[in-house]
Structure formats: C-alpha cells, structure tokens
Structure 1
C-alpha cells in the first residue's frame, strides 16, 4: 500500500511541475505579431534589458539617432565615438574601431545609424564596440550602417 501511495505522489508531483512549465512558457512568450510595436523597438528592448540587468559581452543590434559626436580615442587602437539615443530614450556610446574598419565620415547629429556589435554595461546606458569585422575569427564580426552604406 505504501508503494502505491509513493508512486501516486511521484506521478502527481511530475504532473504538477510539468504542467506549470508549460503554462509559464505560454505566459512569457511574446506575440509573433504586434502591430503597435515595430521590429526595431523589439530589438532595442533587448539592449534595454541588458542595461537593466547590468549585462556585458552581449551581441546586440539596433537603431538609434546620433545625438553627440565625440573626439576620436587615439590611445591604443583608434576608435570613432558617438552617442546614439534609442527609441526608448536610452543612450548608447558607439566605439567604432577605425584601425580595423573605415571611418563613418559623413555622420551628423540627427542621423539614423543601425549597428551590430558587443554591448558592455555602464551606468550611462552602455557601450557597443566590435562594430567591425573580426580579423582573427575569434569573435563575431560587427558593422555600422549609415545612409545605406555598411562599415565593417
């Protein structure tokens, strides 16, 4: 009798935990089509989540508006730097290695820039670097897109 009771308890526990996982997945899953929310906003949501969770070393892509052009960082590998504002209002520093990829010469405040690179957390919104090809193949290659031209 005890063996039957133990088996029934195990089966009940298994049913409870397996059914709970299915329900949780259904609640968390994003809808495949959300007409009020563009694909760009969903991509930028991933960056916002990385910022909120203080995550680094995360491959991200997105689009933002240039709000400030900064001086090049010429110490070590040279980097072109500028700040983007995402549709959410979050700001993001782009650090584009101009020793490995061409400079984006025609960039101005107010321009839209698409990017793919590695996100690093900081308290100002984060930094995206590795926006260039990966010369040794040990990292994902990234890019910037500005006015229809890709820089990698």
Structure 2
C-alpha cells in the first residue's frame, strides 16, 4: 500500500507539471509585484503561460457577452505594463465592488496580444482538466 501511495504522489505531481511546466507554486500563494515574467512573455509573443501577479485597476470595460460571459478590466503592473483581465463570470463570481485604483492579485493563463496581453482562466475548471486560477481583492478570492 505504501508503494502505491508513493507512486500515486509521483504520478500526480508529474501530471501537474506536465500540464504546466512553468508552474511556480510559491507564486500561487504570494503573487509577485515583479512583473518581469509577464513583460518577458509579452516581448517574446508567448501565450499559454501560467502567471501570477498584482496590479492596479486603471480601466473597467464592459462585460464580454459573446459565448461565456467575462468581466473585463485593465490592470497596470509595477513597471507600467498593462494587462487585460478577462474573468469568466459564468464560472466564477463577479467582483461587484471593482473600481479604478483597486489592487488586484491574479493567477491565470497569459495570452499575448499587441496591447500587452490578456490573462484568463481566473476560475476553477469544472472538468478538472486545467489548473485553477483566481482573482483576489482585499483578501477575498474570486474563483
């Protein structure tokens, strides 16, 4: 039984890192204010990278209502880089109290675009096939 549990743990950890080899477990619990990894992804036109960070809301956009509904807003990261957050509100709660100047922590998937990039997958995956993301405002997690 002990050998089975050890094998299961190794397989589980391997699967987690296979799904996302760039996963930094430390950044999940404590997103970095250093946005170099996001700026690097932007400069290299990288997409599909799991990222964590912190930014201030500079603009609140209208919801995207095509397909799954998404709450959208722009964050300015330390260093000045801007990023669109696209938060699926069909799968996760909306941040109703969101306003310009709010500090938001995030964990999700970065997709490159010419305007700075988009972070999505800021929610749980109901099918359990993707790493769960989240947004955090004033200590409250929106997942």
- The question of a shared fold, defined as TM-score above 0.5 by the shorter chain, is answered with yes
Aligned residue number for residue 91 of structure 1? 82
Residues 82-138 of structure 1 show CA distances to partners (whole Å, capped at 9, x for unaligned) of 000001101000000000000000010000000000000001100000000011111
Task: Pick the structure with greater CA Rg.
Answer: 1
So what's the TM-score if we normalise by structure 2? 0.77
Structure 2 residues without counterparts, runs of 5 or longer:
1-30
Q: Return the offset for 1:41.
A: 3.5
Q: Which of the pair is proportionally richer in helix?
A: 1
- Choose the corresponding residue for 1:60, options 51, 54, 57: 51
Partner of 1:142: 133
Partner of 2:17: none
Give the Å deviation of 1:147.
1.2
Q: CA deviation at 1:40?
A: 2.5
Number of aligned residues: 113
In 1, Cα distance between equivalents of 2:33 and 2:135? 18
Greater relative CO (CA pairs within 8 A, separation 6+): 2
Taking structure 1 as the reference length, what is the TM-score of the superposition? 0.72
Tell whether 2:115 aligns with 1:124: yes
Of 104, 107, 115, the residue aligned with 2:98 is 107
Inter-partner Cα distance in structure 2 for 1:106 and 1:41: 22
Q: Is the 8 A contact 2:32 2:52 kept in 1?
A: no
